């Protein structure tokens, strides 16, 4: 396993939620940079917001989402999915925004 994605907190949320994740490296290349993305999608599968798109060293991270899209506009109440992709592997979780 090359990463771990935790449930956001609080969930449901308004107006902000925290997302924790961990990126793991191999024992041979413990400090190797790994391309990591964390995106938010709506129920139609449309990209709402990119929170992370960068090289990360192995470790634990936390980021907040304020319920806004990439243009800075507030999104509506509903179910959203957040997807962590580390290298070629990805995992998604569900969260609820209540306005």
Per-residue pLDDT for 1 more than 80? no
pLDDT in tens, 48-78: 999 999 999 999 999 999 999 999 999 999 9
Per-residue pLDDT for 36 more than 60? yes
Residue 73's contacts (CB-CB under 8 Å, 6 or more residues apart) are none
- pLDDT at residue 32, rounded to an integer: 81
Nearest to 95 by CA among 43, 57, 49: 43
HSE at residue 58, side-chain half, CA atoms within 13 A, is 12
């Amino acid at each position: 396993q090359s990463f771990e994605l935790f449930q956001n907190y609080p969930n449901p949320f308004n107006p902000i939620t925290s997302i924790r994740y961990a990126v793991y490296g191999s024992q041979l290349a413990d400090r190797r940079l790994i391309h990591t993305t964390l995106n938010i999608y709506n129920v139609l599968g449309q990209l709402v917001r990119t929170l992370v798109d960068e090289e990360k060293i192995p470790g634990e991270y936390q980021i907040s989402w304020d319920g806004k899209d990439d243009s800075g506009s507030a999104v509506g109440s509903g179910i959203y999915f957040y997807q962590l992709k580390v290298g070629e592997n990805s995992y998604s979780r569900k969260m609820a925004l209540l306005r």
